[in-house]
Amino acid sequence: MSFKSIIQDMKGEFGSISRKGFDVKFGYGMRSRSHRVVQDSSVPVDVFKQSCWANMPPELLRDVLMRIEASESTWPPRKNVVVCAGVCRNWREIMKEIVKTPEISCKLTFPISLKQPGPRDSLLQCYIKRNRSNQTYYLYLGLNQASNDDGKFLLAARKCRRPTCTDYIISLNCNDVSKGSSTYIGKLRSNFLGTKFTVYDAQPPNAGAKVTKSCSTRLINMKQVSPRVPAGNYPVAHISYELNVLGSRGPRRMHCVMDAIPASSIEPGGVAPTQTEFLHSNLDTFPSLLFFRSKSTRAESFQSGPLSDQKDGMLVLRNKSPRWHEQLQCWCLNFNGRVTVASVKNFQLVASPENAAAGQEHENVILQFGKVGKDVFTMDYQYPISAFQAFAICLSSFDTKIACE
Of the residues 25, 67, 249, 401, which one makes contact with another protein according to CB under 8 A: 67
CA 246 from centre of chain = 36
Cβ-Cβ contacts under 8 Å for 140 (sequence gap 6 or more):
126, 127, 128, 129, 148, 151, 152, 153, 154
* 169: helix, strand or coil: strand
Q: Does 278 bind another protein (CB under 8 A)?
A: yes
Chain mean position to CA 251: 29
Give the residue, chosen from 37, 146, 245, 357, that forms a contact with another protein under the rule CB under 8 A: 37
Centre a 10 Å sphere on the Cβ of residue 26 and count the other Cβ atoms it contains: 18
Kindly write out the interface string for residues 175-204 of this chain, putting x where it contacts another protein by CB under 8 A and - elsewhere: x------xx---------------------
Binding to another protein (CB under 8 A) within 200-229 occurs at 225-226, 228
When the beta carbons of 40 and 121 are compared against another protein, the nearer one is 40
Cβ-based burial of 322 (10 A; exposed 0-12, middle 13-18, buried ≥19) = middle
Choose the binding region for another protein from 37-45, 257-265, 316-324, 363-371 (rule: CB under 8 A). Answer: 37-45
Q: Which is nearer to another protein, 289 or 316 (CB)?
A: 289
Task: Spell out the residues 6+ positions from residue 158 whose beta carbon is closer than 8 angstroms to its own.
Answer: 134, 135, 136, 137, 168, 169, 171, 177, 178
- Asked if residue 146 binds another protein (CB under 8 A), the reply is no
What is the nearest approach in angstroms of another protein to the Cβ of residue 296? 26
Q: Restricting to residues 84-123, name those near another protein by CB under 8 A.
A: 84-89, 91, 110-111
CA distances from 327 to 323, 324, 332, 360 (A): 12, 9, 11, 26
Pick the closer one to another protein by CB: 38 or 357.
38
Determine if 152 is a binding residue for another protein (CB under 8 A).
yes
Residue 181 CA to residue 50 CA, distance in Å, equals 40
CB of 188 to another protein, least distance (A): 20
- Nearest in space to 142 (alpha carbons), one of 338, 385, 345: 338
Give residues in contact with another protein (CB under 8 A).
Answer: 31, 34-40, 42-43, 45, 49, 51-54, 56-57, 60, 63-64, 67-68, 71-72, 75-80, 82-89, 91, 110-111, 129, 138, 140, 149-153, 172-175, 182-183, 225-226, 228, 278, 280-283
